[in-house]
Chains A and B, each alone.
Chain A
Amino acid sequence: MNVVTRHRRLDAIWASERGFRGWFSTVNHTDLGRMFLVTSFFFFIIGGILAMLIRAQLATPDSAFAGPDIYNQIFTMHGTIMMFLFAIPAFEGLAIYLLPKILGTRDLAFPRLTAYGYWCYVFGGSMLLVAMLLGIAPDSGWFMYTPLSNAIYSPGINTDFWLIGITFVEISAIAAAAEICVSILKFRAPGMTLAKMPIFAWYALVTALMILTGFPPLILGSILLEVERAFGFPFFQVELGGDSLLWQHLFWLFGHPEVYIIFLPAAGIVSTVLPVMCRTTLIGYGWIVAAIVALAFLSFGLWVHHMFTTGIPHMGLAFFSAASTLVAVPTAVQLFAWIGTMWKGRPELHLPMLHIMGFFATFVIGGLTGVMVAMVPFNWQVHDTAFITAHLHYVLFGGFVFPVFAGIYYWLPHVSGRKRFFRLGEFAFWLIFVGFHVTFFAMHWVGLLGQRRRIDTYTPEDGWTLINLISSVGSFVLSIGIAMVLLDVILHVLSSRKIRRNPWQAGTLDWAMMTPPPSYNFASLPHVDSRHPLADNPALPVRLAQGHGYLGTPRADWRETLMVDAATGRPEAHVIYPANTRLPILMSAVTGIFFLGLLLKTYWMVPIGMVGVAGLALRWVWMLGRRDDLGAQHVGQGVILPHASATDRSPGWWGSLFLMFANATLFGCLLFGFAFLWTVAPGWPPLVRFEPSFIELGVGVAAALGTALALRVAMAAVRNARATLPALGIALTGAVVFGACCAVMLWRAPPPVDHAYAATLFVLGSYGLFHAVLIVLMTGHLIARVWQGYTSPARRSEFAVVSLWGDYVAVIGSLVLLVGHLSGLSL
């Protein structure tokens, strides 16, 4: 088979539908990565326009441009859009586009999940846009502090748009994060050990793990606050045993790691692009990996530095102050490794490098002011002033936007296959750089002069007029610069000079393919033995195109790839991906019905949405089944591998593992919230407690444990070709009994509107009940599979997945019932 025939055969298998119809059915990571990026930049422009409105308002004192009602919506939406609808999706888009290419494989672990996440992002983001166009956008600040955001002080629908829309969007973050983890650990080119991964993959892996740990607190907080607003459960109302500080803890437990979730991928771009621009390799690879991991851990230990003025005891503040300054150390390790790399090589000032220099100058200032505000006494003065606004923009614009622009100009030839023709980019950079510093440098000063954040106007007597005017002028220069980048990118795509392959002479596998990239990435998969495979063997792209790697022969209509051992990269299993389908967009639309029902308080839509999502999810999984054994497959290079469904560790098992990790974090936050309210909130202990029953507790825990045990028995039975239905029947019964015990707990608990105690108990019980239903559905699915002849020892992987969930539910189920019943004991 020659190169062209192979290309045609593979492309016929992998390509999306032609034209715009393809957008709705594509599951291809290249398409979806580009769609994510374009959509996120659309939101960046919207957020930027809002920023210009803010600066227009503050340019002069006593401004009558917008009243406080509109202005509060504008700044709330500016923060919300930039954080949730630009920065995180831009990372997701870049990771989705780049990871399979840089890891030497053909797609991410769960192509349909990529598409589902994208559509959840689009629909959730649209909700917020609609709210803004109707003038009913959220207006309590992007941090949504209670009680200001509760039903008493924010009675309108505005806040609900935030809580529900953002939670909807977060589905895409969680989905993408779980998928990125599995893809990096299990879907790499054979031979690529963890130590040979391109550094960007390490950044993406740690970022994804941080999303799985960092977003659940926010999701939990949003659920609790929405339930409080809609049904009056008093989680945050101090009169009824709640505590507004619980919201702050949950919010910043998310909010601080969020800053590093945004910064790390950008640092990953710098670590990838900078060595190429310096014609060398990165120094201290192992040190940088250690620094990233350290940063991730530390970032979860310093959320309280957003709460230094809330009256927390000083020794507590000292701990968080120390952690906040310590976080500068791993950042410094990376910074000096980059500068050392520049000294090691011969830096060339191409456009991506220019943006990296902008990043250095800006981000270092942001880091230094960050250390300043980590000092507790200084924080007491500048907290909630323009000084903080300036600091956070130096960190986020410096630490994210400049590297992202560097990345855009670096990978644009990859996306388009074209060379830059017009030289607008350099001019745009200088406008952005100068405009940014004029805008935000001044803001430090006006903050020290006492200008608070979020004020809609000020008087001439305040003495801030000149500084604000300078700041506003700078912001318009900045905006013009960004508009020019946009124009430059559009002209780039329209201009027609094709490039040769690998224009930057990079050493990573993303450049070992045609540009623009073909739908299947690599005609055959490389075997990797170094960190810079393309630099070692410049002929690699040709060899791969000729089919000299793994899976070089297209078979049937299979989208084939390999799963490897997480640590060593040894090929482990043969995977066939699902093809194009409209199921993801349909399922996210139905998910939207669920959220829309909550938003509009048309609660009859909610169960319809839930049943719809459950039905589509079952259909989703069912489509992957086979009625016959596939047998071991030759994958090239003399390697014969089993299909993934003949293993106990299929992609689905790995995906479940990471979803469970996020789920367990959410559950942990719920228990933390319960303990926090119990010990810290005023208004405890509650007057009425739950009446414990050791019979219900015993039966429920036994049922949860029994379910897990029965599922393990079923897993062993299918492996040994024995009957599985008896064990599955026991598991189903166990799950039903466990669910009943949770339901009884909900039924017998005191009314949840009376006290935060009962409200929390209600959420705990519902969490248990939800998981009981989940196990019932999963076990029912397995029974249907057995009944329809879809299982055999070589088609057994779903048993392991359900068993994993069974184990999880045994643990959380026992905890739910234990905490619930023991909380009723009066000691």
Chain B
Amino acid sequence: MAPRGVILATTLLALNGCDGATSTLQTAGPAARVIADLWWAMLVGAVLIFMLVMALVVLAFVRRSPDVAADERGQVRVWIIALGLAFPMVVLAVLLGFGLVIGERLLPRDDVTVVQVSAQGQRWVWTFSYADAPGRVTEDILHIPAGQPVDVSITTADVIHSFWVPRLAGKLDAIPGRSNVLRIEADAPGDYQGLSAEFSGENYADFGFTVRAHDAAGWADFIAGETE
């Protein structure tokens, strides 16, 4: 895109009140996309259930005919067994199964093509290192290849932090003494805003980083040490 176009688009988005650099819904990777789909599905379901409940409440006021089930047993059958027990159980069973399958799919699996990087949080800087470029260390910018799964091994040097790139995937904590592995993947080259998402004291609000996804040539250059 021409520079003018970029400026125009940015201005419009800014006026619109959301440029979406940290939006979980403007997805740029498979993990975030799956989760955003889950959100939209749940939102539709939630709106329908909410409308059903509110309709039942309103009907209680406006209804003129006597109750469908006049005796206590009938009332229990309709309201408690059917609506209170059966209805949520069915909805939740479906949702739970859906959620588990998605969660299972997002887990890091052994795979030779996965790029290995490390992220260490420390108040208030992220330090990244790379299995493919031993000795190479970057601060506050994580370089990854685009279109390729990357496993980020997350640790901390002090308090608990959380590694989060909203447009790419969910977050995972950096816990003292532990190393957690998060799989991320960016569809296309570009910069993605990362946030530290566990309260860490004074400079927490500004504590973030950038994920820079390279195309194949750019990644090769980076590994070779030709990119700063």
Contact = CB atoms under 8 A, between A and B. Distances in A.
Interface of A: 68-69, 72, 139-141, 145, 147-148, 153-154, 238-239, 243-245, 283-284, 287, 291, 309-311, 314, 317-318, 321-322, 325-326, 328-329, 332-337, 339-340, 342-344, 347, 349, 357, 360-361, 364-365, 368-369, 371-372, 375-385, 448-458, 460-467, 681-683
A451 B85 CA distance: 36
B194 to A, nearest CB: 10
A489 B53 CA distance: 32
Q: Name the 7 nearest CB pairs between A and B, nearest first.
A: A380-B170, A450-B22, A340-B79, A238-B177, A311-B180, A333-B84, A342-B60
Contacts of A245: 175, 178
B102 interface: yes
Contacts of B53: 335, 339, 360, 364
B202 interface: yes
Interface string B13-53: 11011111111110000001011001100100010011001
A375 B177 contact: no
B174 to A, nearest CB: 9
B160 interface: yes
Interface in B91-115: 92, 95-96, 99-100, 102-104, 106-107
8 contacts: A72-B201, A284-B79, A318-B103, A325-B96, A384-B171, A454-B204, A455-B204, A463-B17
B54 interface: yes
Interface in B48-66: 49-50, 53-54, 56-57, 59-61, 63
Given A339-B56, A349-B61, A365-B50, A381 B102 contact: no
A383 B176 contact: no
B142 interface: no
Contacts of A377: 34-35, 38, 99, 102-103, 106, 170
B173 interface: yes
A148 B160 contact: yes
Nearest to A382: B24
Nearest to A460: B14
Given A140-B201, A145-B199, A463-B17, 11 more contacts: A72-B202, A148-B200, A336-B84, A342-B60, A364-B54, A380-B169, A380-B171, A383-B171, A448-B24, A449-B22, A449-B23
A342 B171 contact: no
A464 B213 CA distance: 25
Taking chain A's interface residues, is the majority helix, strand, or loop, or is none over half, making it mixed?
helix
Contact of A314 (B17, B103, B195): B103
A699 to B, nearest CB: 39
B173 A311 contact: yes
A378 B98 CA distance: 11
Contacts of B106: 377, 380
A314 B106 CA distance: 10
A454 B39 CA distance: 23
Interface stretch (B70-78, B128-136, B217-225): B70-78
A461 B21 CA distance: 9
Contacts of B96: 321-322, 325, 375
Contacts of B205: 68, 455-458
A333 B78 CA distance: 11
A332 B170 contact: no
Contacts of B188: none
Given A378-B35, A452-B197, A329 B57 contact: no
Nearest to B193: A450
B92 A461 contact: no
A49 B2 CA distance: 50
B140 interface: no
Nearest to B43: A372
A322 to B, nearest CB: 6
A467 B17 contact: yes
Nearest to B53: A364
Contact of A343 (B63, B160, B173): B63
Contacts of B200: 148
Nearest to B26: A449
Contacts of B199: 140-141, 145, 148, 384, 453-454
Q: Which of A139, A243, A384, A457 has the most CB of B within 10 A?
A: A384
Given A148-B200, A329-B85, A380-B169, A372 B92 contact: no
Contact of B76 (A69, A283, A309, A339): A283
B228 interface: no
Contacts of B25: 448-449
Given A145-B160, A332-B84, A376 B99 contact: yes
B156 to A, nearest CB: 9
Given A349-B61, A384-B171, A463-B20, A375 B85 contact: no
B177 A371 contact: no
B95 A375 contact: yes
A238 B176 contact: yes
A321 B78 CA distance: 28
A453 B200 CA distance: 12
A360 B103 contact: no
A357 B201 CA distance: 40
A463 B203 contact: no
B117 interface: no
A682 B179 CA distance: 11
A321 B99 contact: yes
A309 B171 contact: yes
B158 to A, nearest CB: 7
Contact of A321 (B100, B166, B173): B100
Nearest to A349: B61
B92 A325 contact: yes
A598 B202 CA distance: 27
A309 B17 contact: no
B85 A380 contact: no
Contacts of A284: 75-76, 79-80
B80 A371 contact: no
Contacts of B137: none
Contacts of A462: 19, 21-22
Given A311-B173, A314-B104, A378-B38, A384 B162 contact: yes
Interface in B144-198: 158-160, 162, 166, 169-173, 175-178, 180, 193, 195, 197-198
Contacts of B172: 309, 311, 380
A449 B24 CA distance: 6
B83 A336 contact: yes
Given A377-B99, A467-B17, A450 B166 contact: yes
A334 B92 CA distance: 17
Contact of A465 (B17, B24, B83, B88): B17
A364 B54 CA distance: 9
Contacts of B216: none
Contact of B24 (A343, A381, A457): A381
B66 to A, nearest CB: 9
Given A337-B80, A361-B54, A309 B39 contact: no
Contacts of A360: 53-54, 57
A452 B22 CA distance: 10
Nearest to A383: B171
Given A384-B197, A683-B177, A463 B14 contact: yes
A329 B19 contact: no
Contacts of B50: 364-365, 368
B162 A309 contact: yes
B226 interface: no
A287 B76 contact: yes
A326 B92 contact: yes
A329 B88 CA distance: 6
Given A347-B60, A368-B49, A381 B78 contact: no
A760 B88 CA distance: 44
A456 B202 CA distance: 9
B76 A372 contact: no
Contacts of B79: 283-284, 336-337, 339-340, 343
A340 B80 contact: yes
Contacts of B195: 450, 452
B80 A287 contact: yes
